[in-house]
Structure 1
């Protein structure tokens, strides 16, 4: 398992979207080891018609092959506006 920093933006930080993201991680045999809520922040430009979003940063442990599949599924999640996944190693 590799460590990743998973930063993502949601429209409003709703529990439903966060629970869905965490379930998606566990479905791919991953584990969330830390969560950090950065709150609402304005965008430099409109994204999906929005001027601001709710930022979240999670530490995730997952195998590289599962991470690839996770990214593909994450692209289909309607509640996640944008995301960035960085390898911590």
Structure 2
């Protein structure tokens, strides 16, 4: 049985308390992780935005959207890395329609 790749998009919010270098390093880390396990189709950095509600006593966050294709099993690993990375307030991975 062949391993089919699917199209996904992920949005993650980084803490606004991080300096520009740390923020850029985290964005690069996630892009490289996705590229190593699939194909990055596009990266859209939305920048600092006001959060809809307070998260960990923060009212702003740095938003990043990445479109990618990968094997379905990789999304669990990506979610795990999001959860253990300091500076990530929230993350979401969605499978796109075929």
Structure number, greater radius of gyration: 2
User: What are the residue-to-residue correspondences of 1:73-84 with 2, within 5 Å?
Assistant: 73-84=81-92
Within 5 A, what are the aligned runs for 1:1-89?
Answer: 1-12=5-16, 14-27=23-36, 29-89=37-97
> Structure 2 unaligned runs (5+)?
none
Q: CA RMSD in A?
A: 1.6
The count of residues paired between Structure 1 and Structure 2 equals 88
- Give structure 1 stretches of 5+ with no counterpart: none
The runs of at least 4 consecutive aligned structure 1 residues that moved more than 3 Å come to none
TM-score, normalization: structure 2? 0.78
What CA distance in whole angstroms lies between the structure 1 residues aligned with 2:57 and 2:38?
Answer: 32
